[in-house]
């Protein structure tokens, strides 16, 4: 900053002199720097309460479960308030048996089948919502929201009634259609049929999330792109592959990731339907951990199984994320 002062030069006329003011201590930018630093820290301060709640409600149970997995915790230890550390004996017992690996294989196939059906049907319904008229779209959205809002246990109870052996609606309809052998069929009597009923239930519950969010994603696609594709002679399939799908790809990746997690850890539908039966043939990893831990009162073993379940889920999701990132890099 400079100021001008008047004086008299040697010829007697006025002269103008420039005086430069000294810079403030700490540099010219010392003033705005402190507010900038405070502004940069503001988002982290706002997130701090949520992070603390998450650490208390999720972090501490995870740490506690990890500690229990290294203990021999049975009813005797609970009654006598004993803490018996047994190292990795629980993990050795679980990983050394064949039951755990059969359950892992079953869980992976069950998750894959459900996610494929959920994403396929949910995508089709979402695209249908984008093409329906206003009234029909509102009616379909209302049905999807009601299905999504239905409590899990209530929905499971309804499906138990629908597929009941003697008075179930499914058997009655199949009998009326001429398939008389299904009039008294026990849907929960075999592994395949039980998984079929549970799959229908989980897919029915999950489709609304995919369909509604995909429809919302389609509303962000500029109409001009479809008009340009139409002028180029593109049909319905060409418009989908060249315009719609590229816009929806990030959404599909993220939704598939969420559905893998949700289906893999599904517990109430399977347990309330048949408690993992018949003969424990429909147990997935969450059911297996509960039955071994709480049902058989081997709490240390159950904690080890649940911790291994988390590790299996992390392996699956990390592989999926790596595949998605690799595909995005190839596209770039």
N-terminal to C-terminal alpha carbon distance within the chain: 50
Contact by Cβ (8 Å): 302, 71:
no
| Per-domain residue ranges of the chain | 97-331
Q: In a 10 Å sphere around its CB, with 0-12 CB exposed, 13-18 middle and 19+ buried, how is residue 89 labelled?
A: middle
Q: Which residues contact 176 (CB under 8 A, 6 or more apart)?
A: none
Range 97-331: architecture per CATH: Orthogonal Bundle (1.10)
> Token digits for 241?
């592959």
Tell me how far apart the alpha carbons of residues 172 and 163 are, in angstroms, rounded to a whole number. 10
pLDDT at position 254:
86
Averages of pLDDT over each 10 residues, the chain, 332 residues: 46 47 50 62 84 86 89 85 87 90 93 95 92 91 92 93 90 90 89 94 95 91 82 80 84 89 91 89 92 89 91 84 74 64
pLDDT at position 38:
65
pLDDT at position 16:
45
pLDDT at position 142:
93
pLDDT at position 123:
93
pLDDT at position 10:
43
pLDDT in tens, 266-294: 999 999 998 888 888 999 999 999 999 88
Tell me how far apart the alpha carbons of residues 74 and 163 are, in angstroms, rounded to a whole number. 38
pLDDT in tens, 95-125: 998 899 999 999 999 999 999 999 999 999 9
């Amino acid at each position: 900053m400079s100021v001008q002062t008047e004086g008299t030069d040697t010829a007697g006329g006025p002269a103008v002199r420039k005086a430069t003011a000294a810079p403030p201590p700490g540099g010219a930018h010392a003033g705005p720097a402190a507010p900038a630093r405070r502004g940069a820290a503001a988002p982290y301060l706002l997130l701090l309460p949520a992070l603390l709640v998450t650490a208390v409600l999720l972090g501490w149970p995870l740490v506690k479960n990890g500690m229990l997995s290294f203990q021999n915790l049975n009813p005797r230890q609970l009654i006598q308030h004993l803490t018996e550390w047994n190292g990795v004996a629980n993990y050795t017992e679980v990983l050394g048996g064949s039951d755990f690996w059969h359950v892992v294989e079953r869980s992976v196939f069950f998750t894959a089948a459900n996610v494929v059906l959920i994403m396929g049907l949910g995508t089709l319904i979402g695209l249908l919502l984008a093409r329906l008229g206003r009234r029909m779209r509102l009616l379909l959205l209302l049905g999807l929201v009601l299905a999504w809002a239905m409590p899990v246990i209530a929905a499971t109870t309804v499906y138990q009634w629908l597929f009941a052996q003697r008075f179930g609606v499914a058997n009655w309809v199949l009998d009326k259609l001429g398939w008389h052998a299904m009039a008294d069929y026990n849907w929960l009597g075999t592994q395949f049929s039980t998984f079929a009923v549970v799959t229908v239930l989980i897919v029915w519950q999950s489709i609304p999330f995919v369909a509604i969010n995909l429809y919302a994603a389609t509303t962000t696609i500029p109409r001009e792109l479809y008009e340009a594709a139409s002028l180029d002679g593109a049909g319905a399939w060409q418009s989908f592959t060249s315009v719609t799908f590229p816009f929806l790809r990030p959404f599909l990746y993220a939704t598939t990731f969420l559905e893998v997690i949700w289906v893999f850890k599904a517990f109430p539908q399977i347990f309330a339907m048949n408690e993992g039966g018949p003969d424990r043939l429909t147990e997935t990893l969450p059911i297996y951990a509960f039955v071994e831990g709480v049902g058989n009162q081997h709490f240390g073993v159950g904690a080890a199984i649940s911790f291994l379940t988390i590790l299996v889920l992390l392996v699956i999701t990390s592989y999926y994320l790596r595949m998605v990132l690799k595909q995005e890099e190839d596209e770039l």
